[in-house]
Amino acid sequence: MGIRWKLLFAFATLVVVDLSAADPLAVKKFSDWSAPVLVPHVNSEFADSGPAISRDGRSLYFQSNRPGGIGMGNFDIWVSQRASVKDSWGAPVNLGPTVNTDANEGVPAFSRDGHWMFFTSNRPTGLGALDLWVSYRRNTHNDFGWGAPMNLGPKINASFGDAGPSYFANRERDGDEKEDGDEHGDEDGGALLFFDSNRPPGGPTNTELYVSPQYSDGSFGLPAVLSELNSPCNDIRPSIRSDGLEIFFHSSRPAPGGAACAATTDLWVATRDTLSQVWNTPENLGPVINGASNDIQPYISSDGRTLYFASTRSGDQLDLFVSTRSRSKPRGDDDDDRGKKD
């Protein structure tokens, strides 16, 4: 596989967020992020990147070109499991030939109900250089029960590189319960599909963030550029907090005080007060999270307290890292989080 494909897969993704809440939402307050650490028992001597954590925190998906895959040196999707969030990760297992091919598959992301997995692939049956695909499973606790992937079609996939899909449906419509600490309910409504693409106007030289609405019949509308989040540099892999008020991505835009596009990438975040508002100006996550190396592909957990990402800080190859934060309680709030799991 050429260097261009490796770079495209290292930096690709997509995510969807619920748009259904009607009442104003306040941005939740959290503590600062902890210093990132290597995800234990998961990384290899090869490139491990594109992480995605299940809602219950017990299945960690990622892409890797390690030996033993279907792709024979290309990227496959792997999963590591643990019995509980306090247990160690088990040895990663390849998802197998239903999902993976001898081409490249990577950067998975999930619907919040856990039934849908979206990912990126350059398999020859696609429409462009990289396409967005989706697979369904009936049993959300079966990491090897994914069905045959389906292409998201020409409204989403162009003839350029479109990075790997993800879906989040209305919580109440899915019979979902509110997240721990989520005081905001949701009303029936649509969903948004966020992803990155090097199509024009930014491409093919730059990759930008896009958003597409999902309609009631399940189809997606034409993507629109997320101008308030994009820069003249590369902006890649959005990951949305479950309430839709915080979005993470990686970018080669200059760090604060810089001018030209950076030679390496950092993790950035943008927030908003309500779902009807545009995003605030993105902010660099700072030196605790970002190093002098490439820090890429953030994925925020469903409860908003754990951030997985890939980085070259430990060597030439990409490895998986994790950072955590806690929820800051408002003054006068008598509730506490004792006994609750991350």
Digit-coded pLDDT (tens) for 105-115:
999 999 888 99
Q: What residues of the chain score a pLDDT lower than 50?
A: 1-5, 7-8, 11, 13-27, 172-175, 177-178, 180-189, 334-342
| Tens digits of residue pLDDT in 174-195 | 445 445 444 333 333 468 889 9
| Tens digits of residue pLDDT in 14-66 | 444 444 443 334 445 899 999 999 999 999 999 999 999 999 999 999 999 99
Please list, in sequence order, all residues whose beta carbon lies within 8 angstroms of the beta carbon of residue 208, skipping any fewer than 6 positions away: 196, 197, 198, 202, 225, 226, 230, 235
Distance CA 21, CA 303 (A): 17
For the entire predicted model, the pTM comes to: 0.87
CB 49 within 8 A of CB 65: no
Backbone angles phi, psi at 52, to 5 degrees: -150, 130
Please list, in sequence order, all residues whose beta carbon lies within 8 angstroms of the beta carbon of residue 181, skipping any fewer than 6 positions away: 28, 303, 327, 337
- Predicted confidence at residue 174, as pLDDT, reads 47
Q: Which of 298, 300, 286, 293 is nearest to 317 (CA)?
A: 293
Token pair for residue 295?
């820090």
Q: Which of 191, 157, 198 is nearest to 174 (CA)?
A: 191
- Predicted confidence at residue 276, as pLDDT, reads 83
